[in-house]
């Protein structure tokens, strides 16, 4: 149980284009999903918390107009990187909470590796 | 500032031995503790969650939590080469952001 999928697993795009990444909870409903970014040899950094049916909560320093998050259903959240630039190249990973939010137990998707040329 | 300290390793153990991974943390208010396994180039995989003092066992894995000493550990019995990965200790303080505070990870190598 507690399986989270992401699509695509990798994407290469030109600078200035937008990229959408999907995150799905396959065998449970996730009221809350989380988006992380990880640069090589660095820790995961939370970008935003996505709540079904409401606006996402962004961490300090994350541009909400650049990283658009939509959580339209209990099993799907999307992250759109708008006008991507080479510095946005990173490993983007979503996670979903399967139990009480009090414990904040998060299951991670397989990640999406974004390369912006 | 919340801190999670782990020995970066690498920790090398022979196949079949017990691997012991340790983690200390600074935030006494932390209420949830997790061990994730991360293979190179992959996303973290949740191995164990522990919320109260004592031991919690799941197969070859045992998590130990001591809130008084602000210490959490992971024991891997009968270590296998497939256990070779970076193990991340993470905690949740229960307040404010849902950010999990991660340690930098301990790289484990199980030698056949």
Show the tokens assigned to A78: 């999307």
Which residues does chain A have within 8 Å of residue B58's beta carbon, measured at their own beta carbons? none
Strands A76-81 and A19-25 come out as antiparallel
Longest alpha-carbon distance in chain A = 41
B91, closest residue in chain A (CA to CA) = A104
- What distance in Å separates the CA atoms of residue A105 and residue A23, rounded to the nearest whole number? 17
Banded pLDDT at B97 (limits 50, 70, 90): low
Interface subset of B 21-40, CB within 8 angstroms of A: 31-32, 34, 36
Give chain A positions within 8 Å (CB) of B48: none
**In this predicted model, what pLDDT tens digit does every residue of B26-75 receive, in sequence order?**
988 888 999 999 999 999 999 999 999 999 999 999 999 999 999 999 99
Exposure class string for B17-47: b at 16+ Cβ within 10 A, else e:
eebebbbbbebeebbbbbbbbbeeeebbebb
| Dist. CA A114–CA A112, nearest whole Å | 6
Give the DSSP letter of residue A26: S
Position A28 scores a pLDDT of: 84
Cβ-proximal residues to A49 (8 Å cutoff; 6+ apart), any chain? A32, A33, A34, A56, A57, B97, B98
Contact B46 A32 (CB under 8 A): no
Identify the pLDDT of residue A1: 61
Whether omega for the bond prior to residue B10 falls within 30 degrees of 0, making it cis, is yes
Share of chain A above pLDDT 70, in %: 97
Most distant CA pair in chain B, distance: 44
Here the tokens at position A1 are 């149980």
Strand B106-111 versus strand A32-38 pairing type: unpaired
Please compute the mean of the pLDDT values over residues A104-109 and round it to a whole number. Answer: 90
Contacts of residue A60, defined as CB under 8 A and 6 or more positions apart, other chains included, come to none
Per-residue confidence band for B96, with pLDDT thresholds at 50, 70 and 90: low
Quote the tokens at residue B61.
Answer: 């894995």
Q: Which of A8-17, A98-107, B4-13, B93-102 has the highest mean pLDDT?
A: A8-17
> For the stretch A47-61, what's the b/e string if a residue is b when 16 or more beta carbons lie within 10 angstroms of its beta carbon?
bbbbbbeeebbbeee
Q: Is the pLDDT of residue A53 over 90?
A: no
């Amino acid at each position: 149980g507690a399986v989270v999928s992401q699509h695509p697993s990798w994407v290469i795009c030109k600078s200035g284009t937008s990229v959408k990444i999907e995150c799905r909870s396959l065998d449970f409903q996730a009221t809350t999903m989380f988006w992380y970014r990880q640069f090589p040899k660095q820790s995961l950094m939370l970008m935003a918390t996505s709540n079904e049916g409401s606006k996402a909560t962004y961490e300090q320093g994350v541009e909400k107009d650049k990283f658009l998050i939509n959580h339209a259903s209990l099993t799907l959240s999307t992250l759109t990187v708008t006008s991507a630039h080479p510095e946005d190249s990173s490993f983007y990973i979503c996670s979903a909470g399967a139990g009480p939010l009090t414990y904040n137990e998060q299951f991670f998707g397989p990640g999406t590796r974004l390369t912006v040329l | 500032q919340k801190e999670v300290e782990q020995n970066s390793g690498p920790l090398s153990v022979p196949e079949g031995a017990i691997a012991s991974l340790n983690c200390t943390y600074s935030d006494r208010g932390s209420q949830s503790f997790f061990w994730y396994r991360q293979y190179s180039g992959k996303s973290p995989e949740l191995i164990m969650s522990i919320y109260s003092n004592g031991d919690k066992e799941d197969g070859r894995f045992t998590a130990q939590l001591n809130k008084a000493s602000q210490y959490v550990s992971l024991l891997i019995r009968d270590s296998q080469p497939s256990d070779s990965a970076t193990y991340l200790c993470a905690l949740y303080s229960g307040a404010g952001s849902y950010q999990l505070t991660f340690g930098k990870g301990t790289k484990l190598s199980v030698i056949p």
